[in-house]
Amino acid sequence: MIRGNKILIADDEPDILEIISFNLQANGYEVSTAKNGDEAFEKAKKILPDLVILDIMMPGKNGIEVCNLLRMIPAFKETLIVFLTALSDETTEIKGLETGADDYLTKPISPKVLISKINALFRRLNKDETGIIQIGDLQINREKYSVKFKEEDIILARKEFELLSLLASKPGKVFLRNEILNQIWGTEVIVGDRTIDVHIRKIRQKLGIDCITTVKGVGYKFEM
């Protein structure tokens, strides 16, 4: 868990608090609890959690009020907020979601499912899936379709980029010629064996460094 592992739970039933706390902690989250809406709001402002789990019916402020108040504070614009309540009526659920909550879960819920849902929310929050391959001084950015070597931009044509991208996706692994053909040309198109060689050559030429190794009779592999 790189970022975002502080969770605040607000519920007026001590049993619920304990069960959920236990399960979240067992999954590596740092948990704080609150017994009512007012306490939840105060604690939230103090500890700045990454996720707030709110019961709706609580003494003091109810969950929806807390959610509203939090969303008004800039620091909580991005904070995950989830309702966890026994209230399963449609109107409340819609109201809850429209308040700016990220999910609305109804009790009873199994701890495992709860954890899965929470993991799913965090997964999207930590969207560091940039599609960048970095090996030594070589950087391949799939999204930008760009290759850099020591801050130097290297322009590759499409097939060249795809080929390098494929080989570099698993450094050290030998890709069979067949495998390469299937991955890059697909099963429909049929091209000669020499075609691969030529593209490999162009990549080697453009990169200027020797990072693609020929494994004679088998295929090619990427190595720095």
Q: Is residue 206 at the binding interface for DNA, with CB under 7 A as the rule?
A: no
Q: Return the number of the residue (13 or 197) whose C-beta is nearest DNA.
A: 197
Regarding 14 and contact with its own copies (CB under 8 A), the answer is no
Rounded Cα–Cα distance for residues 200 and 222 (Å)? 11
52 versus 196: smaller Cβ distance to DNA: 196
If one asks whether residue 198 binds DNA (CB under 7 A), the answer comes out as yes
Question: Based on CB atoms, which residue is closest to its own copies, 33 or 162?
Answer: 162
36 is written with which tokens? 């009512």
C-beta of 17 vs 118, nearer to its own copies: 118
Interface region with its own copies, contact rule CB under 8 A, candidates 25-33, 56-64, 102-110, 185-193: 102-110
Chain positions 137 to 166 lying near DNA, rule: CB under 7 A, are 155, 157-160
List, in sequence order, the alpha helices (H) in the chain: 14-26, 37-47, 63-72, 90-98, 111-125, 158-169, 177-180, 193-207
The amino acid that residue 129 corresponds to is E
Is 46 a binder of its own copies (CB under 8 A)? no
We find the least distance from the C-beta atom of residue 173 to its own copies, in angstroms, to be: 5
d(C-alpha 89, C-alpha 3), whole Å: 34
Considering the complex, what minimum distance in angstroms separates the CB of residue 180 from DNA? 11
Q: How far is the CB of 218 from DNA (least distance, A)?
A: 6
- In degrees rounded to 5, what are phi and psi of residue 188? -75, -55
Q: For the window 145-164, what string marks contact with its own copies as x by the rule CB under 8 A? A: xx----------xx------
Distance CA 219, CA 217 (A): 6
User: How far from 141 is each of 116, 134, 185, 187, 199, CA to CA, in Å?
Assistant: 30, 8, 21, 26, 19
* Binding status of residue 144 toward its own copies by CB under 8 A: yes
Torsion sign (Cα): 107, 111, 113, 118: positive
Query: What residue ranges bind DNA (CB under 7 A)?
Result: 155, 157-160, 177, 185, 189-195, 197-201, 204, 214-219
